[in-house]
Chains A and B, each alone.
Chain A
Amino acid sequence: MSDVVEKTLTALPSLLSLDSQPGAGKLSITSKLGSLIKNITELTSKHEESKLIKKELSTIKEQISSPHTTLRQMKEIMVRMIYCEMLGYDTSFGYIHAIKLAQQGSLLEKRVGYLAVSLFLNENHELLLLLVNTVLKDLQSTNLVEVCMALTIASQIFPKDMIPAVLPLVEEKLQHSKEIIRRKAVLALYKFYLIAPNQVQHIHDKFRKALCDRDPGVMISSLQIYQQMIKDCPDGYKDLTGSFVAILKQVVGGKLPVDFNYHSVPAPWLQIQLLRILALLGKDDQSASELMYDVLDESLRRAEINHNITYAILFECVKTVYTIHPKSDLLQKAAKCIGKFVLSHKINLKYLGLKALTYVVQQDPNLALQHQMTIIQCLDHPDPIIKRETLELLYRITNGQNVTVIVEKMLAFLWQSKDEYTTIDLVGKVAELAEKYAPDNEWFVKTMNTVFSLGGDVMQPDIPNNFLRLLAEGFENEIEDKQLRLFAVESYLSLLDKENCNFPQRFLQVISWVLGEYSYLKTDTHPEIVAERLQKLLDQSTISQETKSWIMAAITKLASDSVCSSTVTEIAEKHSVCLDTVQRQHAFEMKALLDDRELMKQILPKDASCEDIEVDISLSFLDEFVANALDRGAAPYKPPHQRQQELSQAKALNFEPYGLSLPISASSYSIAGRQSPTGLSLSSGLSGNSAEMTQKKGSNSLKLEGVKKVWGKEGYLPQSETAQEVNHPSASCPDVEATTMEKLVENASVQSDLLPVALNVKDQEKQQLASSLFVGIGSHDTLSLMGKSENNAQRFRKRSKLKEYSKETERLSRDEFSLQSPPQNLLDNANFSESSENLNGLGTLFTSKFSKKADSTTLDCDKMSKQEMLTVPTKGSSLLFTSDDMVVVKPSHSPAEISFLPSSNQYFSLPAELSQQAHSEVVQLAYNDFLSLSACKIYQKDCLLLVVFITSYSSTPITHIELCFPQSKLKVFNSAAHHFHSLEAKSTVNCQSCLLMEEPCAQLDLVGNLTYHLESEEISELEFSLTLTLLDFVRPLIISTDDYGKLWLSFANDVKQNLNLLSNAKDPLTATLNVLKDNLCLHIVDIIGKESIIACQLLPSIPCLMHCRVHSGMLAVWLRSPSPDFIDCLLYHCQRILQEK
């Protein structure tokens, strides 16, 4: 059959050119497109094609810019351009003409113009702005076809910022008499909702009208908007559940016109959409779910015709049944359905059946048992997609008893898979299973070795990090820990024994860390031998710079263990002339340490990777140095953001020549640069950095611009001549995939015991496999599977905790400069949150240090400096925030929210200095039998201070209370975690945290948890959340009209929007502004006639300026700010508040 097509295509050119053929003469495809296509089909090579198209494009270019080209010709040219673009050639020169054609052409030409625009441009393209006028004009046209075209393009691509311009016209079309126009208008609004939800906030009631439209087509389109809105906020639309159920009932009952039937199934698209909406509404909501049971039952029953489309509905139905609040009768029917899918001989249905099983198996592991033979068959399926899905299913039912078999299957698949995406995913899963359920040490280490060699450098970085952490932290049993470590050392040594071993970089890093840290456990091997092995690695050209740092660190650690070692000295010598600065630094450090064994023992202790490192955060040992520098006239330290600001201010226009200061500062820096590797302060990476920093400060007028030149000119170039050829080219291989595969092959021999035994097809063996795969699954331990992560006895118990840290670990692990090997740094978990904070706080601490000495600015001033520049000096904060003003300002909490403790109407006393400030009511966050948590927001001038009260109800003291706010979009100062040793019975403590928004958003939930110990020694946990709105972080910006003008011009983002005016008041403008001011904490800078200017800021320092004008009964607002998100969110709140009024 396909041969015939090929014949058609090859015959095509001759057919098209043959005029003599009877009949063909009539169909002379004379159009230029026709001949272009014809010519292309004649060509044989890609090169010829590109030559031809280039020629074609240059002709087009010429024609397109010629004034004599008619619109009709232009239309034809556009089609040819679309064709060229589809072949992969750039036609961007003609985009503007597509817009022109849409603008000027008659109907047929306009249609092609719009098509070309929708194909050429995407919604971020700048030319799209030129289209707005055309769309506006066509929306107002009396010709239906033109209106349709305009609506179609608007629902495909439209510039976000220009939505307000067309919105009224599109809204108007919702009332149009033609169904098709109403439908397209709804879809255009859907598009607007997707790209800028705030813009269509006010027309929600019109969506409801569309939902009740007399024409089903319009109703169907409106469901798309509803699905999206319900997904964003399911609680807001629960009242519609009944309506959606009613619609679905009618559809299933065949009440819609036959037009909507598809292969005699009534409106399948609509059914699926409704089922999806119901799933969203019924999730975790029993009462909503109860409304749906009947119709879902009916849907399952009705779908009996054996056609793809009924299976599509069934599949969606099953998904919904398993998502909503469960009903056993329905679940049974759904399970039966899944069975139908799994057992189907159609491969598509089988695939979906496996998918559904994967989805539900956590709720009901017995389902997997029922189909175990099918699953086994799918494991051998020739289609890799089916295999992959089966593995996914097995992954979900893994437990301690079947882990070895399942991991073996997964690894077998990985050996064959070439897809990077699959590799990353599966490798992560294998690592997770291995950590959770490993039966013994040997298996664990071997499996992880395979993971590292297979995952290569594409796997998630937290896999090696977690592995190392597990090794370092160990488990309850000290002896077993040692065995595990020893086994790892032994297996790595034997891996390195092989000649030409080509392992991925990450694996080598793991190997070198483990060898450095734990080689001492292997008493029968001299450290010298280990060091030699590592040295061999170091000389390989394929090793990346980063890995080299790890290896050097490992060698240094080995050196501290052995008495004296010629290998180590040799390495240190060799690399101290290396061209790579990092490595050279390592070499210098190593040398310095070798000279001072005492120091070495001290900073490289044995098996101490989990010990806390004591760091002198205040860097008091540098005090003298700083004082001296300041005495000599050095400028006090300024934090980076302040420097940045000063720089940008100075930048305005600087006509002063940079002149002489440059060479001086440059040379002083180069001295500093040379000193640092010689080991002035080797005690920790932190102090190393600090030394550099202070030196920067010490040199009088350092300009960072100078640095580059120095490094290039005198730093290293002369030395490079004497250097031996140790400069390995950077070895990060570009073709990761290829090299990984190579490595795998070589690795295969080592790991042969892990390779899957060839699968036998005999039934008996399959039975055996089944019993090993499905062991431990069944009704007796359903519970443990449901919980999966929590309830299973985990071998490696730290797992859950680790995840929290992993992100930070990643960040730290880049800090490879510190002499202690990287893992030591990252494994320092006990003190983790604190130490990472120390890192963050370093800058600030410096400041305070310097400023104390210099007696100039205070820390506080520093923080506020940015703000101060914007504000006219005020008499302290009291003027900004008089407390009673603020309490009135924040009435937005509904009374229901402020539910006080049920038992005692306790009064929470704020500390005296805080109760003076503006604050909210105390709200209860969470409580249980022992504890209650309440909170109060205090609107401070530079942050939102959250005071959390912890009250004990227990009759005995509660100990080890820890309150923390894990991940969130908030910046939490004053430490993210609070810790109390104990809380007396029936008493209250409070803790305070300063909060700032990382990024502007309309509202967000602060999630936190409280862990504590009761008498019983058990750790208990109490979770809570608190909703914070943007308004909690907005403060007035006090500013003069002049400054306002200057600022206005400097902001890039602006948005215009019409707001409702409170028209029933005497003076609508002032009334509206006052409402906004009271609710939003705005500062009204000036009111002039019908216009007003307003300023506010989002803490810490994102200003927003508003310009308001009364215009035809609306308040036309024009906002400008450096942050577009802030504008969006602020507008949202303005709209909300004015609507409430």
Chain B
Amino acid sequence: MMQFMLLFSRQGKLRLQKWYVPLSDKEKKKITRELVQTVLARKPKMCSFLEWRDLKIVYKRYASLYFCCAIEDQDNELITLEIIHRYVELLDKYFGSVCELDIIFNFEKAYFILDEFLLGGEAQETSKKNVLKAIEQADLLQEDPAVLEVKMFKIHLPGLSIFILNDKSALQANG
């Protein structure tokens, strides 16, 4: 079972956090701080897996964002990497060429998508189509003004927002 998922930027700023195990705020902060440090210190060609305390950490960098998951000993590291990738694909499809700005300004949307994809630390629905269908249903087909704004923003400033998914240069050697 996945224990938690963190999204943070290259500068170490937390963008999203989802905890699947009950921990106190103090512990969460400590873990986040330590992990962000550890992961950021690793070099690009290094292995995507870490052993950290009694957990296994699986992380991957997409453009400026790090996606970082903690799993238990018996879990499969490679499939966790694919979970991260599927999540990025979902974000990409929902926001339309997702970039870090989307996640900064619409993090609650990113949470909704995550909850529809992973529930209680396990993959709930792995079909891209079904996840997005569920989200759209809940959105009630109302285009949220905030999403629209970032979309417009991207149209007008194409050079400055990097599309996470298609930024091949950022993918690690293992991608």
Q: Which residues of B contact A144 (CB under 8 A)?
A: 137
Central interface residue in B15, B76, B82, by most chain A CB within 10 Å: B76
Q: Which residues of B contact A90 (CB under 8 A)?
A: 25
Tell me if A33 is interfacial: C-beta within 8 Å of chain B: yes
Inter-chain contact B162/A1, CB cutoff 8 Å = yes
- Minimum CB–CB distance from A972 to chain B (whole Å) comes to 31
- Minimum CB–CB distance from A836 to chain B (whole Å) comes to 30
The stretch of A262-270, A692-700, A810-818, A906-914 that contacts the partner chain: A262-270
Instruction: Provide the main secondary structure of the chain A interface.
Output: helix
- Using CB atoms, name the residue of chain A closest to B140: A107
> What is the size, in residues, of chain B's interface with A at 8 Å between Cβ atoms?
76
With A4-B162, A122-B23, A191-B120: A348-B115 Cβ-Cβ less than 8 Å: no
Inter-chain contact B146/A31, CB cutoff 8 Å = yes
Q: Which residues of A contact B126 (CB under 8 A)?
A: 260, 262, 267, 269
Tell me if A247 is interfacial: C-beta within 8 Å of chain B: no
Tell me if A385 is interfacial: C-beta within 8 Å of chain B: yes
Chain B residues numbered 140-159 whose CB sits less than 8 Å from any CB in chain A: 140, 142, 145-146, 149-150, 152-153, 155-157, 159
Chain A residues numbered 248-272 whose CB sits less than 8 Å from any CB in chain B: 259-260, 262, 267-269, 272
Per-position binary interface string of chain A over residues 310-323, scored 1 when its CB falls under 8 Å from any chain B CB and 0 otherwise = 01100110000000
Partner of A309 from the list B82, B134, B167 (CB cut-off 8 Å) is B82
With A108-B140, A347-B174: A23-B156 Cβ-Cβ less than 8 Å: yes
Q: Which residues of A contact B16 (CB under 8 A)?
A: 86
Q: Which residues of A contact B91 (CB under 8 A)?
A: none
Partner of B119 from the list A122, A184, A388 (CB cut-off 8 Å) is A184
Tell me if A164 is interfacial: C-beta within 8 Å of chain B: no
- Using CB atoms, name the residue of chain A closest to B160: A8
Tell me if A11 is interfacial: C-beta within 8 Å of chain B: yes
Tell me if A547 is interfacial: C-beta within 8 Å of chain B: no
Query: CA of A421 to CA of B137 in the docked complex: distance in angstroms?
Result: 46
Tell me if B47 is interfacial: C-beta within 8 Å of chain A: yes
The stretch of A112-120, A473-481, A1074-1082 that contacts the partner chain: A112-120
Inter-chain contact B169/A1, CB cutoff 8 Å = yes
Q: Which residues of A contact B120 (CB under 8 A)?
A: 155-156, 187, 190-191, 194
Query: CA of A122 to CA of B27 in the docked complex: distance in angstroms?
Result: 13
Q: Which residues of A contact B49 (CB under 8 A)?
A: 348, 351-352, 385
Tell me if A87 is interfacial: C-beta within 8 Å of chain B: yes
Inter-chain contact A312/B82, CB cutoff 8 Å = yes
- Using CB atoms, name the residue of chain B closest to A5: B64
**Interface Cβ pair total, 8 Å cutoff:** 195
Per-position binary interface string of chain A over residues 82-111, scored 1 when its CB falls under 8 Å from any chain B CB and 0 otherwise = 110011101000000000000000011001
Query: CA of A230 to CA of B19 in the docked complex: distance in angstroms?
Result: 26
Tell me if B98 is interfacial: C-beta within 8 Å of chain A: no
Inter-chain contact B107/A385, CB cutoff 8 Å = no
Tell me if A1066 is interfacial: C-beta within 8 Å of chain B: no
Chain A residues numbered 317-362 whose CB sits less than 8 Å from any CB in chain B: 346-352
Inter-chain contact A152/B119, CB cutoff 8 Å = yes
Tell me if B165 is interfacial: C-beta within 8 Å of chain A: no
With A1-B162, A4-B160: A111-B169 Cβ-Cβ less than 8 Å: no
Inter-chain contact B79/A268, CB cutoff 8 Å = yes
Inter-chain contact B46/A383, CB cutoff 8 Å = yes
Inter-chain contact A86/B17, CB cutoff 8 Å = yes
Per-position binary interface string of chain B over residues 8-26, scored 1 when its CB falls under 8 Å from any chain A CB and 0 otherwise = 0011001111110011010
Central interface residue in B14, B49, B81, by most chain A CB within 10 Å: B49
With A26-B152, A115-B112, A217-B130: A421-B76 Cβ-Cβ less than 8 Å: no
- Minimum CB–CB distance from A285 to chain B (whole Å) comes to 19
Q: Which residues of B contact A82 (CB under 8 A)?
A: 107-108
Partner of B63 from the list A1, A262, A346 (CB cut-off 8 Å) is A1
Q: Which residues of A contact B64 (CB under 8 A)?
A: 2, 5-6
Query: CA of A86 to CA of B116 in the docked complex: distance in angstroms?
Result: 21
Inter-chain contact A312/B112, CB cutoff 8 Å = no
Chain B residues numbered 37-71 whose CB sits less than 8 Å from any CB in chain A: 43, 45-54, 63-64
Query: CA of A34 to CA of B153 in the docked complex: distance in angstroms?
Result: 13
- Using CB atoms, name the residue of chain B closest to A224: B122
Inter-chain contact B160/A7, CB cutoff 8 Å = yes
Tell me if B102 is interfacial: C-beta within 8 Å of chain A: no
Inter-chain contact A385/B77, CB cutoff 8 Å = no
With A34-B105, A87-B14, A145-B138: A5-B124 Cβ-Cβ less than 8 Å: no
Q: Which residues of B contact A386 (CB under 8 A)?
A: 47
Inter-chain contact B127/A259, CB cutoff 8 Å = yes
- Minimum CB–CB distance from B67 to chain A (whole Å) comes to 15
Inter-chain contact A11/B47, CB cutoff 8 Å = no
Query: CA of A26 to CA of B101 in the docked complex: distance in angstroms?
Result: 17
Query: CA of A1101 to CA of B127 in the docked complex: distance in angstroms?
Result: 55
With A24-B156, A108-B140, A155-B119: A348-B174 Cβ-Cβ less than 8 Å: yes
Query: CA of A6 to CA of B13 in the docked complex: distance in angstroms?
Result: 12
With A122-B19, A152-B119: A88-B29 Cβ-Cβ less than 8 Å: yes
Partner of A27 from the list B63, B74, B119, B149 (CB cut-off 8 Å) is B149
- Minimum CB–CB distance from B44 to chain A (whole Å) comes to 11
- Using CB atoms, name the residue of chain A closest to B142: A108
Query: CA of A15 to CA of B157 in the docked complex: distance in angstroms?
Result: 10
Q: Which residues of A contact B155 (CB under 8 A)?
A: 23
Inter-chain contact B174/A86, CB cutoff 8 Å = no
Partner of B51 from the list A23, A83, A388 (CB cut-off 8 Å) is A388
- Minimum CB–CB distance from B155 to chain A (whole Å) comes to 8
Q: Which residues of A contact B17 (CB under 8 A)?
A: 86, 119
Q: Which residues of B contact A79 (CB under 8 A)?
A: 108
Partner of B111 from the list A23, A119, A149, A315 (CB cut-off 8 Å) is A119
Per-position binary interface string of chain A over residues 1-21, scored 1 when its CB falls under 8 Å from any chain B CB and 0 otherwise = 110111111011001000000
Query: CA of A437 to CA of B153 in the docked complex: distance in angstroms?
Result: 67
Tell me if B104 is interfacial: C-beta within 8 Å of chain A: yes
Chain A residues numbered 23-77 whose CB sits less than 8 Å from any CB in chain B: 23-24, 26-29, 31, 33-34, 37
Partner of B14 from the list A86, A311, A312 (CB cut-off 8 Å) is A86
- Minimum CB–CB distance from B78 to chain A (whole Å) comes to 3
Tell me if A221 is interfacial: C-beta within 8 Å of chain B: yes
- Minimum CB–CB distance from A115 to chain B (whole Å) comes to 6
Q: Which residues of B contact A123 (CB under 8 A)?
A: 22
Q: Which residues of A contact B51 (CB under 8 A)?
A: 385, 388
Query: CA of A33 to CA of B129 in the docked complex: distance in angstroms?
Result: 30
Inter-chain contact B157/A312, CB cutoff 8 Å = no
Query: CA of A45 to CA of B109 in the docked complex: distance in angstroms?
Result: 29
Q: Which residues of B contact A312 (CB under 8 A)?
A: 76, 78-79, 81-82
- Minimum CB–CB distance from B126 to chain A (whole Å) comes to 5
Query: CA of A29 to CA of B54 in the docked complex: distance in angstroms?
Result: 43
Query: CA of A194 to CA of B122 in the docked complex: distance in angstroms?
Result: 13
- Using CB atoms, name the residue of chain B closest to A29: B149
Inter-chain contact A272/B79, CB cutoff 8 Å = yes
Tell me if A724 is interfacial: C-beta within 8 Å of chain B: no
- Minimum CB–CB distance from B80 to chain A (whole Å) comes to 9
Question: Which 10 pairs from chain A and chain B are nearest by CB?
Answer: A312-B78, A122-B22, A5-B64, A23-B156, A312-B79, A8-B160, A259-B127, A383-B46, A348-B174, A27-B152
* B interface list, Cβ under 8 A from A: 10-11, 14-19, 22-23, 25, 29, 43, 45-54, 63-64, 74, 76-79, 81-82, 86, 100-101, 104-105, 107-108, 111-112, 115-116, 119-120, 122-127, 129-130, 134, 137-138, 140, 142, 145-146, 149-150, 152-153, 155-157, 159-162, 167, 169-170, 173-174
9 A-B residue pairings within 8 Å (CB atoms): A4-B162, A27-B149, A27-B150, A119-B17, A149-B138, A267-B126, A308-B82, A308-B174, A348-B48
* A interface list, Cβ under 8 A from B: 1-2, 4-9, 11-12, 15, 22-24, 26-29, 31, 33-34, 37, 79, 82-83, 86-88, 90, 107-108, 111-112, 115, 118-119, 122-124, 144-145, 148-149, 152, 155-157, 180, 183-184, 187, 190-191, 194, 217, 221, 224, 259-260, 262, 267-269, 272, 276, 308-309, 311-312, 315-316, 346-352, 382-383, 385-386, 388, 421
Given contacts A2-B10, A11-B160, list 6 more A-B pairs with CB under 8 A. A190-B122, A260-B127, A347-B45, A347-B46, A348-B47, A382-B43
